[in-house]
Structure formats: C-alpha cells, structure tokens
Amino acid sequence: MNYNHFKNYAIKYYLKYYPSKNKLLERLTQKFKISLEIANKIILELEEDNIILEEKVIEEKIKHLISKWKNVNYIKINLIKKQFNQKIILEKLNKYSQNKSVLPEDFIINKIITYKQKTKSKNYIRQKLIERKEDKTIINKLLEEHYFSEEEQENLEINYNKLKQRNKTEKQILDNLTRAGFNFWEILKIIKK
C-alpha cells in the first residue's frame, strides 16, 4: 500500500464520519500501522485542501445536539470524548449560548409536564432542569406558567398517601417529602391533619 491509498482512505473515512483530527490520526495509525509522521502529513494536506474543517464540524455537531435538546454539559462531554479540541468546543459553545439558555421552551415545558405527571415537586423539577445560570430565568418563568400551587399541593398529597400506605413514620414521611423538594410547612400541615 502506498501513500495515496492511505490518503484516499483518510478522505473517505473523514467524509463518512467527520471525526476529530485526533480520532482520524488514531484510526490511520491503528488500521495501517503507519508512522505518526506520515499520518500527520496526510491530515495536514487534508487541512490545506479544506477537506478537514474541524471548527465547522464542531459547530455543526453542537447545532445538531442542541436540536436534539441536549444541554451544554452533555454537548461538551460528548465532543471531548470524541477527541475534538477542547478550546474550540468551549469557544463555539460560548458563542452559541452566549448568556442565554440553549434549552428550547418546548423541551422545558414537556419536561415540566412529565415531572408533574410523576408527582414531582416544583423544587425537584427546578433542580433537575437548571444546570447553568442562563437556564434559571426561563425555567422559573415556565414553571410559574405551567405548574400551579394547587398542582403542587395535589402532588404533595399523592406522595404523602403513598408513604402513609407503606407504613412510614411521620418523621420518615417528613424526611422523604422534604428531600423530594416539597415545602416543609406544607408537609407539616398535611401530617397534622
């Protein structure tokens, strides 16, 4: 096998999977047992020919993951695992999510509804959804619009009754419901009924 064979393979592999340069380098050296020097030369030529555009690939992968409702931490970890340049990942993520949430409103509303149906408290939902300070404002706004105090009270009563049926003590019930994010004083009112 010759140099052109390795280069053609690198082009096909890159255009099929759009891996990071590091992943492509690893693939070439493992598959063909070629030296690091030759693999680096191939990658450098592909960059000069504008075949490898790592920044563009990172940006497109970020957009794709955001469209799949993935949060910033998930995106960052996913791309780092795929051996993309961490500095470029952070630059692109910061540019894309600059002081605003990357979570779409539909996603947040669906999550709120799902958690409500699972009888979760407002605080529990808030803790699950808020990962970055940029998410806090929109999540709090949507929680207020889609999760009313009557529903919180109803979910508290459902959870209380479940625990009561399991023969939990008042202290155990109080501990469990407090950890679940329900208001301490509201829990006491129900226990003292």
Per-residue pLDDT of the chain (193 residues; tens, 9 = 90+): 788 999 999 999 999 999 999 999 999 999 999 999 999 999 999 999 999 999 999 999 998 988 887 878 889 999 999 999 999 999 988 887 665 667 778 888 888 999 999 999 999 988 888 876 767 888 888 888 888 888 999 999 999 999 999 999 999 999 999 999 999 999 999 988 7
Ramachandran angles phi, psi of 12, nearest 5°: -60, -45
Query: In this predicted structure, what is the pLDDT of residue 108?
Result: 85
Q: Which long-range contacts (CB under 8 A, 24 or more apart) does 20-23 make?
A: 20/54, 20/57, 20/82, 20/83, 20/84, 20/85, 21/47, 21/52, 21/54, 21/85, 22/83, 22/84, 23/82, 23/83
Query: In this predicted structure, what is the pLDDT of residue 136?
Result: 82
Query: In this predicted structure, what is the pLDDT of residue 98?
Result: 61
Query: In this predicted structure, what is the pLDDT of residue 132?
Result: 66
Residues in the chain: 193
Query: In this predicted structure, what is the pLDDT of residue 95?
Result: 80
- Token pair, residue 177, equals 């419901």
pTM: 0.63
- Token pair, residue 37, equals 């020097």
Measured CA to CA in angstroms, residue 69 lies from 64, 92, 106, 116 at distances of 9, 17, 10, 19
Rounded CA Rg of the chain:
25
Q: Are 134 and 94 in contact (CB under 8 A)?
A: no
Measured CA to CA in angstroms, residue 1 lies from 5, 33, 37, 157 at distances of 6, 11, 16, 72
Q: Are 144 and 135 in contact (CB under 8 A)?
A: no
